[in-house]
Amino acid sequence: MRNRAGIETRERILSATKRLLAERGLDGVTIKGICDAAEVHAGSFYNLFESKEQVVLTAVREAIKAVDPHPSGSGVDRVEELVDAYIRFVMDDQDLARVYLTVAVSGGLTDPAIRTRVLRHHQDRHARFVAALRRERVDIGDDEAAELIDALLAALNGYAFQWLLDPTFDFENHARRLLRFA
């Protein structure tokens, strides 16, 4: 059984990890950095987490989960709503969005453990968008819908990336315009 103090400390460590991941990226994060930010010593860290990899993967998992906050079948099932949810995620939860895009998406290109998670996440996300699209436009075939969603998701990620690099980029407007195109 875990003590109340331990739960609180664990939360503080995880929160610091997310913030540092957003600021400094995957390899800019160190145990010392996390411990300083969370006001904890190394011994406490290793009492609550097994390794640096574990706390990072936990943070990445949370970022990935935050991309689609509404569980499937919760009423958020139209493409427009799904896109809106992504817009809100990126703009309202910038730290997690940064973790998602820099660590998860681009970390997926180099880190095998992250790559596995990202690809599965993308598959689920893709399937949900395709299902929503086909519900709305029965005239579209399965393959065509899959391709449209492929392009839509990739472009949305590109937009989000650009917005994080340059805040004057009108992410919301472009995303909605893209939706009308698809």
First and final CA of the chain: distance in angstroms? 51
Q: Which stretches of 72-111 are DSSP H helices?
A: 79-92, 94-98, 106-107
109 binds its own copies (CB under 8 A): yes
| The one segment of 48-56, 77-85, 133-141, 171-179 that binds its own copies by CB under 8 A | 171-179
What sign has the CA pseudo-torsion 23, 120, 61, 148?
Answer: positive
52 binds its own copies (CB under 8 A): no
5 binds its own copies (CB under 8 A): no
- For residue 177 the two structure tokens come to 């315009």
| The one segment of 33-41, 57-65, 101-109, 130-138 that binds its own copies by CB under 8 A | 101-109
Helix 142-165 to helix 171-181 angle (10° resolution) is 170
6 binds DNA (CB under 7 A): yes
Binding residues for DNA (CB under 7 A): 1-7, 9, 29-33, 40-48, 51-53
